[in-house]
Amino acid sequence: MKRTKQPAFGIVGAPVHAAVRERLRTDRPGPDPRLDPAGDAARRGDWPTVAATMPPVTADPDLHHRAVAEVAELAVEDDRWLNAWLDAAPEDANAWSVHAQAIMRLAWRLRTAAPGTEVLPEQWVGFRRVLGQAPAACARATALAPGLATPWIVLMSCAQGLGWDHERFRALWAEVTARAPDSVAAHRRALYYWLPRWQGSAELAGGFVMETLDRARPGSLLTAVRFEHAFLEGVADPGAIEAARADLAAAPADHPYRVHHRHWLAYLLTRARRYDEALAEFHAIGGYAGAPPWELFADPAGAFAGTRAEATGRR
Amino acid sequence: MRRYAYVAQIVSLLIGFYLICTALVAGLIALDAFVFSIDGAERAGVALLAVTLAAVFVVIRGVFVSTRLRHRHVVGIRVTEAEQPALWARIRQLAAQVGTRAPRRLYLVPDVNAAVWEDTRLLGLIPGRRQMMIGVPLLMALTPAQLDAILAHELGHYGNRDTRLGGLVGRTRQSVLAAVRAAGRRRRFDLPGGGLFFAIFRWYATVVLKTTQEASRAQELAADRVAAQIAGPATTIAALGALHGIDRAFDFYLARYLMPGFELGLMPPPPELFGSFSAMLADPVRRGQLDELAREPDEETADPFDSHPPMAQRIAALRALPPGPEQTTDSRAVAILVHPTEVIAQVALRSLQKELAGKQVLAWDALAQAVGLHRADERARPLQEAVARLSGRPADLPALRDALGAGRYHQILDALPRNEASRLTNATGRVAREHAKTELAPMLSGWLVGHLVRTGRARWVHSWGDFEGELRLAPELKAAVDAAIEDLVAVRPDDRRLRSLISGVPA
């Protein structure tokens, strides 16, 4: 069948065919056999299976954080299974971690990701009221599993949203890094805290990125912080692609943030007009748009599809 | 010579204004005559005649009525020298110091304003009776020396020291502005051609205002200098700086303390209608806010018609003057008045005549109680209506308790009016319910507090620091109410404390 060659689109507001968007999943970055069973069970409301298939509290911090985040996102719409789990297993640190993470996500849904000046007063009230309940849930989780990093990472979002001062945040960061020194999730949260739009400044955010890159082991995938910072602050970063490739090449095959890294590469390669390489990354990703940088757009699916269409059309 | 050229320019602008008026009217009359001379065009002629009459009205307004402010237009009371000898003596002394005539009449008005004006005649060419008005809020907020500075400034406009041109410039500006206002006023029937009239006047007004702007501003600065010579530069700066804050404070006083009572048919005793403005100003919280307002530069309105130079410029000019005879005292200018309480009550009764008709008089605490209860009821109403709809019972607290006990909390949340955030984001499920809880918390608080007040377990007392009043409620009861609400709107709601609270309070 002969097809019209796809025209090139800009990435913002690209008029992507509805069917293409329909098939894209924006709730996760890609399939992962380590995470899928818990997510499927949560979707069914089957909390015992969620509890049984969640990574243990001793798992890799990033894997644990991702697993918690994926099921917590489901609890933001419907928390009946989570409440049943909490009632039945009040000593399960994973349940409290999911609860804390879900509260944090719920708060952000009330606020939306809009710039602060566009957030309505009632949204601020709801945001602060809900987010203010997350620390208590975090405290339950950390009391049950003192070595677990995930609830401490949720507290970083509280620091960001509730405006905790720098001293308090640095003390929190010390707790996080003691448990998860290389966590991509934790470093992303810290980046947001230090952004000028939240509790930091251009200097503090830039300084945090420099420090992170200086300390990062190759293969830790902490270069992601650099891409997100450049994207959010509109900073030019000419060496980003090579840094991303090197980091990915050195990363273990089971690193939980490998797939996120591919999303960044696909985006950065398209922006650099290296369309063949970009398409290879898009091919590896498949139909998932639930990752940065797409999540940073008002329309993640549109941004993903538009960028992919640009790479396809210009090849 | 330049001065004479400028005088000639102003005079010709004023004459030009009268010429434009005459030409407009003459042109219309000529057109009327022409239309009436055409057979069968009587109807159009009548319409045109109406336009002509409207135009004549506008012109007459601009030419004759412009600079007059009649007695009946002054909202306030006239005070004679026999009634207020001390205030009059002060004004006479100020006028003498400025080197101008003292006013013939003095009014006390309810505005944050002080002004001197003359009823001029014959197109503003013959000076008329000079009058003065002083705003009661100024008397209450300014020290006597600061009031001197403000009055000296106003009288300074008529002093013949720096600004011989002042009167002429002022008259020209006022005439043109009055015509613009008359032509631009919206009437029930918009006459054809009104827009054109307005456009012509506005164009001319712009020309006049631009030409006279500099003289007008120089006049203000000269009047400031006169004030500084008499009251001292520091006192004048303090008085000018305080005006904006006093204006805001008085508006706040009317809107937050008087209006809510008026809306419920209630008022404080007449001497306290305006009289309590002093009490509000004396409150430490309000005093701090006023100092704050005086410190921060007030946002300048970029009005091209404003005859005043920017406040920052005026203050800088005053700072450059040598120090003068400053007087510092903590008393307020209102103390100059004989029987101040009665006088202020009279001004209030006269200016609020319409608002006060049929109002019941209550002491401030009783007013706070009535207004507080009304506000609590208003807040509670949407929740009460939702509960009544769901339960099919009169909306009382036991109905809410029973609905919660029957596990209908989600239904109640869903039945509340959705807030803007919830609608705009098309919120569903848990997100929509959290938005509803944001609204529910103050509704429930209003309901519980209203009930406690009605059953005599809480009451509001008046507060100058908090216009919503101060809620007097036993600390342990307040803690129980807060905890019950917090539990109910928590992400994992718990209605037990609320239900037992409702069961525990007498109906």
Using CA atoms, how far residue B206 sits from B117, B170, B178, B262, in Å, is 24, 15, 13, 42
The pLDDT tens digits of the residues spanning A75-114 come to 999 999 999 999 999 999 999 999 999 999 999 999 998 8
Using CA atoms, how far residue B418 sits from B18, B89, B500, in Å, is 60, 63, 28
Q: Which residues contact A87 (CB under 8 A, 6 or more apart)?
A: none
With an 8 Å Cβ cutoff, are B420 and A110 in contact? no
Q: Which of A119-128, B170-179, B181-190, B262-271 has the lowest mean pLDDT?
A: B181-190
Q: Which residues of A touch B429 (CB under 8 A)?
A: 76-78
With an 8 Å Cβ cutoff, are A110 and B490 in contact? no
Express as a percent the part of chain A with pLDDT over 90.
86
| pLDDT at residue B365 is higher than 80 | yes
CA distance B420 to A128: 17
Q: Which of A136-145, B290-299, B310-319 has the lowest mean pLDDT?
A: B290-299
With an 8 Å Cβ cutoff, are A126 and B438 in contact? yes
The pLDDT tens digits of the residues spanning A190-236 come to 999 999 999 999 999 999 999 999 999 999 999 999 999 999 999 88
With an 8 Å Cβ cutoff, are A133 and B425 in contact? no
The pLDDT tens digits of the residues spanning B419-457 come to 999 999 999 999 999 999 999 999 999 999 999 999 999
CA distance B403 to B309: 64
What integer pLDDT is reported at residue A295 of this predicted model? 92
Q: Measured between CA atoms, how close is B416 to chain A, in angstroms?
A: 15
Contact predicate B112/B247, CB 8 Å? yes
| pLDDT at residue B12 is higher than 60 | yes
With an 8 Å Cβ cutoff, are A79 and B430 in contact? yes
- Per-residue burial over A237-273, b = 16 or more CB atoms within 10 Å of its CB, e = otherwise: eeebbebbbebbeebeeebbbbbbbbbbbbbbbbbee
Q: What is the mean pLDDT of residues B283-306?
A: 72
Confidence of residue B504 (pLDDT cuts 50, 70, 90): confident
Q: Annotate A232-278 with three-state secondary structure.
A: HHCCCCCCHHHHHHHHHHHCCCCCCCHHHHHHHHHHHHHHCCCHHHH
**B354: its two tokens:** 């319409």
Q: Measured between CA atoms, how close is B466 to chain A, in angstroms?
A: 21
Q: Which of A77, A123, A130 sits opposite B491 (nearest CB)?
A: A130
Q: Which residues of B touch A120 (CB under 8 A)?
A: 420-421
Q: Which residues of B touch A96 (CB under 8 A)?
A: none
Residues 95-114 of A with CB under 8 A from B: 103, 106, 109-110, 112
Phi–psi pair at A31, nearest 5 degrees = -70, 150
Confidence of residue B310 (pLDDT cuts 50, 70, 90): confident
Express as a percent the part of chain A with pLDDT over 70.
92
| pLDDT at residue B238 is higher than 70 | yes
Q: Is the preceding peptide bond at A90 cis, omega within 30 degrees of 0?
A: no
| pLDDT at residue B164 is higher than 90 | no
**A121: its two tokens:** 């007063």
With an 8 Å Cβ cutoff, are A126 and B430 in contact? no
Q: Measured between CA atoms, how close is B262 to chain A, in angstroms?
A: 29
Radius of gyration from C-alpha coordinates of chain B: 31
Confidence of residue B202 (pLDDT cuts 50, 70, 90): confident
Q: Measured between CA atoms, how close is A148 to chain B, in angstroms?
A: 23
What integer pLDDT is reported at residue B158 of this predicted model? 77
| pLDDT at residue B372 is higher than 70 | yes
Confidence of residue A50 (pLDDT cuts 50, 70, 90): very high
The pLDDT tens digits of the residues spanning B28-68 come to 788 778 877 777 777 777 777 777 777 777 666 656 544 45
With an 8 Å Cβ cutoff, are A76 and B430 in contact? yes
Q: Does A123 touch chain B (CB under 8 A)?
A: yes
Q: Measured between CA atoms, how close is A76 to chain B, in angstroms?
A: 6
**B388: its two tokens:** 């009544």
C-alpha B154: how far from its chain's center? Answer: 21
Q: Does A78 touch chain B (CB under 8 A)?
A: yes
**Does the model's ipTM exceed the 0.85 cut?**
yes
Confidence of residue B282 (pLDDT cuts 50, 70, 90): very high
Confidence of residue B331 (pLDDT cuts 50, 70, 90): confident
Q: Which residues contact B446 (CB under 8 A, 6 or more apart)?
A: B375, B376, B377, B378, B379, B380
Q: Which of A75, A129, A133 sits opposite B438 (nearest CB)?
A: A129
Which residues pair with residue B106 across a beta bridge? B132
Q: Which residues of A touch B427 (CB under 8 A)?
A: 109
Q: What is the mean pLDDT of residues A245-250?
A: 96
With an 8 Å Cβ cutoff, are A133 and B437 in contact? no
Mean pLDDT of the residues in chain A? 91
CA distance B127 to B124: 7
Is B123 buried (19+), middle (13-18) or exposed (0-12) by CB count in 10 A?
middle
Q: Which of A247-256, B99-108, B166-175, B431-440 has the lowest mean pLDDT?
A: B166-175
Q: Which of A109, A120, A133 sits opposite B431 (nearest CB)?
A: A109
